[in-house]
Amino acid sequence: MGNMERNALPGSLDQAAKTQRHVLTYMEDAVSQLLENREDISQYGIARFFTEYFNSVRQGTHILFREFSFVQATPHNRASFLRTFWRCFRTVGKNGGEFSSVSCSPVALAPKWLAGL
């Protein structure tokens, strides 16, 4: 009976646990970013920093200039990278091979580890 009860748990519980783990990933990253940039952040406040950080997560721009390990850390990060990648190269095709914005430059999309190669 114990096995059947375990197997009967809805997938939403498992999904909720994964989502909670991903929220912790973003909270840890936000605090890390806050500590790394505390001099700059003191100018406009911690609340504004967290607002801008989580807006960037929601918009999918949080993966720009980030390490590969961060990009692959969550399904949202991977999806954000792919959306940005395809949006940039779609723009390149329309512009005849020219990059139209800084956020779509190869440097912005390349993880930090790649920049050292």
Chain segment 1-57, per-residue pLDDT in tens: 444 444 545 566 677 777 778 999 999 999 999 999 988 888 889 999 999 999 999
What is the C-alpha to C-alpha distance for residues 71 and 15, in angstroms, rounded to an integer?
20
Would you give the DSSP letter of residue 73? S
Burial 28-60 (b: 16+ CB within 10 A, else e): ebbeeeeeeeeeebeeeeeeebbeebeeebeeb
Confirm if 103 and 61 have CB atoms less than 8 A apart: yes
Give residue 3's pLDDT: 47
Entry field: residues in the chain: 117
Q: Is the pLDDT of residue 114 over 50?
A: no
Chain segment 85-111, per-residue pLDDT in tens: 998 888 776 766 555 555 565 555 555
Give residue 88's pLDDT: 84
